[in-house]
């Protein structure tokens, strides 16, 4: 008798069942997805709020007179604060507003560096004054921006009032909001 004739055919294992993933793994996947989305949104918001600050600092390096520095400063203010509260500020009122938004430690340094620069914006100045003024504005941009959401600035001496939640919109969002207000008013 032949031993090979007694062998039986090869049996293949049964199909592996495609069991559904356990609910705990779905929960972990959803939490990771939500965490990723939240992180991306926060990162974009963080970068957007600091974009105007970075641009202002770059422009300040190229400024060559007091009026240019003040123009850059006012543009920066309009990016972070409501237009109705900062657009009309000039001279001593602008200086008082800037000082009131700085941390306590930086106020004296800012006042020393800016001295009379806000009241002498359109007068011809020596190069040392522009250097000090640029240092003062750079200090303010680095220390005061972006403003805290719960910052409430009330400067009774200068009559400056800023509402409690400060607007942290980019210039494109502000333009879109203003355009819809204007479009709605014309209808």
In tens, the pLDDT along 66-104 reads: 788 888 888 988 888 888 888 888 788 888 888 888 888
Q: Among residues of the chain, what percentage have pLDDT more than 90?
A: 10
Across 35-45, average pLDDT: 95
SS3 assignment for the chain? CCHHHHCCCCCCCCCCCCCCCCHHHHHHHHHHHHHHHHHHHHHHHHHHHHHHHHHHHHHHHHCCCHHHHHHHHHHHHHHHCCHHHHCCCCHHHHHHHHHHHCCHHHHHHHHHHHCCCCCCCCCCCCHHHHHHHHHHHHHHHHHHCCCCCCCCEEECCCCEEECCCCCCCCHHHHHHHHHHHHHHHHC
Q: pTM surpassing 0.75? A: no
Domain residue spans in the chain?
51-181
| pLDDT tens track for 129-157 | 678 888 888 888 888 888 876 454 433 33
Q: What is the pLDDT of residue 33?
A: 97
């Amino acid at each position: 008798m032949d031993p090979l004739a007694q062998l039986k055919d090869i049996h293949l294992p049964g199909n592996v069942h495609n069991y559904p993933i356990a609910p705990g793994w779905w929960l972990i996947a959803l939490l990771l997805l939500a965490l990723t989305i939240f992180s991306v949104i926060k990162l974009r918001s963080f970068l957007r709020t600091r974009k105007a600050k970075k641009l202002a600092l770059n422009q300040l390096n190229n400024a060559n007179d007091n009026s240019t520095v003040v123009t850059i400063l006012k543009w920066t203010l309009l990016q972070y604060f409501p237009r109705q509260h900062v657009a009309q500020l000039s001279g001593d009122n602008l200086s008082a507003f800037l000082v009131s938004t700085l941390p306590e430690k930086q106020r004296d340094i800012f006042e020393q560096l800016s001295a009379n620069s806000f009241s002498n914006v359109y007068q011809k100045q020596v190069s040392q004054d522009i250097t000090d003024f640029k240092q003062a504005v750079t200090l303010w941009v680095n220390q005061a921006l972006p403003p805290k959401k719960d910052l409430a600035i009330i400067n009774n001496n200068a009559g400056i009032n800023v509402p409690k939640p400060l607007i942290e919109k980019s210039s494109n969002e502000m333009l879109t909001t203003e355009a819809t207000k204007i479009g709605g008013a014309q209808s």
